[in-house]
């Protein structure tokens, strides 16, 4: 069965420092993986997606994620956090055409 685990429910960083949001997945075949972001009182916006092309995926707003099959991980990174990055982030795995969401990681950015 497919599943996704976000390893941190909350991450706090200072503005200008790197961001790392961790995600591990379980899939019986080559998965499609996504990261979504949800700003307060907003819908979900697609940040980036991996669909078996390049293992390093670049998304919007300077975010990127690396697919590591050997570690079954798809961690989200950004070199330098901005105040506007404060939001909740969801790692998502595709399973049989359905999307399975992780529990979310809330990112706080301190000035």
Partner 1 sequence: EAQVTQNPRYLITVTGKKLTVTCSQNMNHEYMSWYRQDPGLGLRQIYYSMNVEVTDKGDVPEGYKVSRKEKRNFPLILESPSPNQTSLYFCASSSAGPGSYGYTFGSGTRLTVV
Nearer to partner 1, 12 or 103 (CB): 103
49 belongs to the binding site for partner 1 (CB under 8 A): yes
Nearer to partner 1, 38 or 77 (CB): 38
Per CB under 8 A, the segment of 16-24, 37-45, 60-68, 77-85 that binds partner 1 is 37-45
Q: Which two tokens stand for residue 13?
A: 């960083």
Chain positions 51 to 110 lying near partner 1, rule: CB under 8 A, are: 51, 90, 92, 94-99, 101-104
DSSP 83-110: GGG-EEEEEEEEETTEEEE---EEEEEE
Residue labelled with tokens 């399975």? 100
Q: Judge whether 105 and 21 are in contact, CB under 8 Å.
A: yes
Using the rule CB under 8 A, which residue among 26, 32, 72, 77 binds partner 1?
32
39 belongs to the binding site for partner 1 (CB under 8 A): no
**Dihedral of CA 16/64/12/39: which sign?**
positive
Nearer to partner 1, 31 or 85 (CB): 31
**Dihedral of CA 29/32/33/39: which sign?**
negative
Binding site for partner 1 (CB under 8 A): 9, 32, 34, 36, 41-46, 49, 51, 90, 92, 94-99, 101-104
């Amino acid at each position: 069965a497919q599943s996704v685990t976000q390893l941190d429910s909350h991450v706090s960083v200072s503005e200008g420092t790197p961001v790392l949001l961790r995600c591990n997945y379980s899939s019986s075949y080559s998965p499609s993986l996504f990261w979504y972001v949800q700003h307060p009182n907003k819908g979900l916006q697609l940040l980036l997606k991996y669909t078996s092309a390049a293992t390093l995926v670049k998304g919007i707003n300077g975010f990127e994620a690396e697919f590591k099959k050997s570690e079954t991980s798809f961690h989200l990174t950004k070199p330098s956090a901005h105040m506007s990055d404060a939001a909740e982030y969801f790692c998502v795995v595709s399973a049989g055409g359905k999307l399975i969401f992780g529990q979310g990681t809330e990112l706080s950015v301190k000035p």
